[in-house]
Structure formats: C-alpha cells, structure tokens
A = this chain, B = another copy of it.
Amino acid sequence: MSLLVVGSVAFDSVETPFGKAEEVLGGSATYFSTAASFFTDVKLVAVVGEDFPEAHVDFLKSREIDVNGLQKASGKTFRWKGRYDFDLNQAHTLDTQLNVFASFKPQIPEKYKDAEYVFLANIDPVLQLEVLKQVKKPKLVACDTMNFWIEGKLHELKETLKYVDILTINEGEARELSKEPNLVKAAKTILSFGPKTLIVKRGEYGSLMFSNSGIFAAPAYPLESVFDPTGAGDSFAGGFMGYLSNTGNLADGNIRQAIIFGSVMASFNVEEFSLNRMKTLTYAEIEQRYTSFKRLTHFEDL
C-alpha cells in the first residue's frame, strides 16, 4: 500500500557538543519519507525554493520516494538553525526562516489522492485538514503537531484531530494539549478529541502508546554515541507508518511492532548528522536492531 506524507523539506544548521553541520538536508517530510522508504512506497508533498539542489532531489529519488508532489516555488527554501547541549532531548532554536514555506498550500497530485496511509507532519493544522479534504478514503491518518500550534491554533488543531486516527506528539506537548500534568490522564483527554491512538514521544526515554487496547511502553535504544537528534521524531514516525503501510495490519500487536520499527529508525537517524546514516543503512541492519530491541526489553513471564 502507499503512504503519503505532507510536511517540510528544509535546510538545517545544527550544532551539537560533537560537531556542527551547516545547511544540510532536513525537514519533517524528508526525515519521514526517507525512514518510511525502507518499508513501503512513499509519496511526498512539500515545497522547496529555487536554491534547492538537484542532488537532494536525487537522494530522495534514490530511496524510490515519489517526488512529483515536491513543489518548487520562487524564493528560498525553509531554513532552521538549532543547537543541542549535552541534554540532547532539548533543541534550542536559534533561527527560523520560513521562506517559501510561509505560503505553502499543499496540492495533492491526482495520483496521490487514493493513498491509504497518510502522515500529516508538523504543519499548520488548517493545512493538515485541507490535505485530508483532498485525499479520497485513507485507511489510516496519523499526524504530528507542536507547542506552536497548540498555543496559537488550538481550535483549528482540535478540529483537525477529529479526522486523525493516530496522533504522535512529545511529552510536554501532550501535557499542554490536554492541560493535564499526569500523562495517563492527559492521554485519556487527548483520545477524547478524536484520535484512537496516541503516541507520546519521550526522546531518549522512548515512547508510550495509548489506545483502548491499553498502554505500550517502548524504550529508546541506548546508544554510545548520539550525534544529532534532529529528525528523530520524524524518522520514528516514518518507520512506524512505513511498517504499517507495508503490512496493512492495524491490530494492536502489529502497531506495537510498528512502534519498535519506528524506534529502530530513530535510533539509526541520530547516529549521524542530517540523513547521512540513512545513506548507508540496510534492511538487514534494521532487522538486527529490531532483534536488539527485543533483547533489550525481554523478561520472562511469571
């Protein structure tokens, strides 16, 4: 089955305690679609400026990502600049230049409209809803958001959430969206807004999934060198949705496996700057790390 993602394609400039990268390929849709491309066919919708090099498009094509929905607009590509200190869970934004992203109106190409799996990366919830109006009858819609929209467009976000099956947000955002400090109560509140499943991302602490089948806790993979956390959440979502799209199975057990595949992709992504680790990654390595996750969490029944 095929998977549609709508989000950003950007240039990132990142400083971590371990080095820095200037104007490297980034953006939520880039990370998502690259991670998902190891599992399924991906169709990408985003906008870039005239300064976006063909080499980056070629990379996406090399991952067999359908880039017919990648619009080129006059102006410059979206730029984000950030810094991480030793607490790699916390990104400090130094500069954001929306550029062509400021007037982005997602146009879903005709041949994308029957996508069965849809991921709405972190963009304006009004645009997310407009995307949903353009797709025909998706089997599963997942979406990400951030504190900026929770604070600035709460009403619109709640409207979008009515049409979303799975929401992936981080821990602080879950508390902010629900106005509830306890995460279990926060999850109940958020599930009452529409989504059937909530995935709370906790950075180096892993993730928690809440649904009416119960709660699933997945750790993050303990890595000896975390180089750059940028894109971890979108790589997670890409592995997660890619696996679901590939298997077409939405049973609780399969969603749990998808979360582990998402965690696997996030763990590889943070090993190098930008999408560099994805360039050498093999599916055999992905399966190997899945097995390592099993070993990491396994204990015997009573």
Binding site for B on A (CB under 8 A): 17, 86, 181-185, 202, 204-206, 208, 214-219, 222-226, 253, 256-257, 259-260, 287, 290-291, 294-302
Contacts and interface: CB of A to CB of B under 8 A. Distances in A.
A259 to B, nearest CB: 8
B299 A253 contact: yes
A215 B296 contact: yes
A224 to B, nearest CB: 4
13 contacts: A182-B225, A183-B222, A184-B222, A206-B217, A214-B296, A215-B296, A216-B299, A217-B296, A253-B299, A253-B300, A256-B298, A257-B299, A297-B297
Nearest to A187: B222
Nearest to A205: B205
A77 to B, nearest CB: 33
Nearest to A181: B86
Nearest to A203: B205
Given A290-B302, A302-B291, A296 B216 contact: yes
Mostly, the A contact residues are mixed
Nearest to A286: B302
Nearest to A254: B300
Contacts of A202: 205
A294 B299 contact: yes
A211 to B, nearest CB: 13
A225 B225 CA distance: 35
A297 B222 contact: no
Contacts of A294: 299, 301-302
A219 B260 CA distance: 15
Query: What are the nearest 9 A-B pairs in CB distance?
Result: A217-B219, A205-B205, A256-B299, A86-B181, A184-B224, A184-B222, A217-B296, A297-B297, A215-B222
A192 to B, nearest CB: 15
Contacts of A217: 206, 219, 222, 296-297
Nearest to A85: B181
Contacts of A300: 253, 256-257
Contact of A184 (B86, B206, B223, B299): B223
Given A217-B219, A217-B222, A299 B182 contact: no
A300 B217 CA distance: 14
A182 B216 contact: no
Given A219-B219, A256-B299, 7 more contacts: A182-B225, A202-B205, A208-B222, A215-B296, A216-B296, A253-B299, A257-B300
